[in-house]
A and B are shown apart, each in its own frame.
Chain A
């Protein structure tokens, strides 16, 4: 991905703290709601899942697509966002 959205840059710029799941790049209101229904209401919970899958982008996007109904682009965007966050802060 050559260009990144403002949301992506905002998320990657600082520790996530208690940010809600919708602050993740690629997760909008609708997907965020679906994730919240399954208990993933904070961004760090999604990060947890990402880490559980060993930061494997393929598996994570698959999970995100299943869990929230995201499309491939959104899931890849979220994955990229988390990966960069990990590179910066983990």
Chain B
């Protein structure tokens, strides 16, 4: 495996710090110079990284074919990526990364590493299955398998190269072909509703008739009907309006010739006449 070893001299001090922390190395005093960190880094991590890589991954994937792993392009070293690449790669795994700065970079690197291991494990288990189902173990079969693997890796490499421009991944899983609308999850475990298998186990076969060409008249009628309000709503609105108008009219009528008002008017007229009559008599 080509281990990508960065020159620690290129690192900034906080970067070195975070690297040291990431590797569980106790930091020197807070105000030490950069070269102190560098020495520590080269001492602890430079030695470690080579061993780290081989041992770590063998632990996880002990049963896997080593050659295949070496060719696996998904196991790129996250440390070797630029910030933008790291972000784009994380996005490819469905993780929306925040700004990648000194204090967050190591975290995102590790997250990417984990995601890669998960994805790698899933892919390898699939190829393992394929191996299991192939009944002959001769050279021809193996060649075909590796050919397939290579084709896959080539497509993935091509993917990586224009990862910045688009994040569309070609359909490379049988599962993804079957359920194209399900999102690929980093763990590869997705809960989907099981679909009934049409025509199997006595279930009726439904044939779909998508978009039967309707006559132009029918289409017009549909268009008109879509704009029309149902008939009963129209009648209801009409009745409500009628009632409202009647109520208004009735209230106006009442005010104009209120029996009490007329009575009062009559009374006042009568009293006036009486008083007039009385005054005249007097």
Contact = CB atoms under 8 A, between A and B. Distances in A.
Contacts of B110: 62
B95 to A, nearest CB: 9
A52 B103 contact: yes
A54 B98 contact: yes
B107 A38 contact: no
B27 A63 contact: no
Provide the main secondary structure of the chain A interface: helix
B21 A49 contact: no
Nearest to B96: A54
B200 interface: no
A53 B22 contact: no
Given A38-B17, A38-B30, A67-B21, A62 B98 contact: no
Interface in A52-86: 52-54, 56, 59, 62-63, 66-67
Nearest to B29: A37
A52 B104 contact: yes
B111 A59 contact: yes
Interface in B1-44: 17, 21-22, 27, 30
Contacts of A66: 21-22, 106-107
B242 interface: no
Nearest to B99: A52
Nearest to B100: A52
B30 A53 contact: no
Select the residue from A51, A62, A66 with max chain B CB neighbours within 10 A. A66
Contact of A52 (B30, B96, B101, B106): B101
A49 B96 contact: no
A62 B30 contact: no
A49 B98 contact: no
Interface string B241-274: 0000000000000000000000000000000000
Ranked nearest first, the 8 interchain pairs of A and B with the lowest CB-CB distance are A54-B98, A37-B30, A66-B21, A52-B104, A59-B107, A52-B98, A63-B107, A53-B98
25 contacts: A37-B30, A38-B17, A38-B21, A38-B30, A39-B30, A49-B103, A49-B104, A52-B98, A52-B99, A52-B101, A52-B103, A53-B98, A53-B104, A54-B96, A54-B97, A54-B98, A56-B98, A59-B104, A59-B107, A59-B108, A62-B110, A63-B103, A66-B21, A66-B107, A67-B21
Given A53-B107, A63-B107, 7 more contacts: A37-B27, A52-B99, A53-B98, A56-B98, A59-B104, A62-B107, A63-B103
Interface of A: 37-39, 49, 51-54, 56, 59, 62-63, 66-67
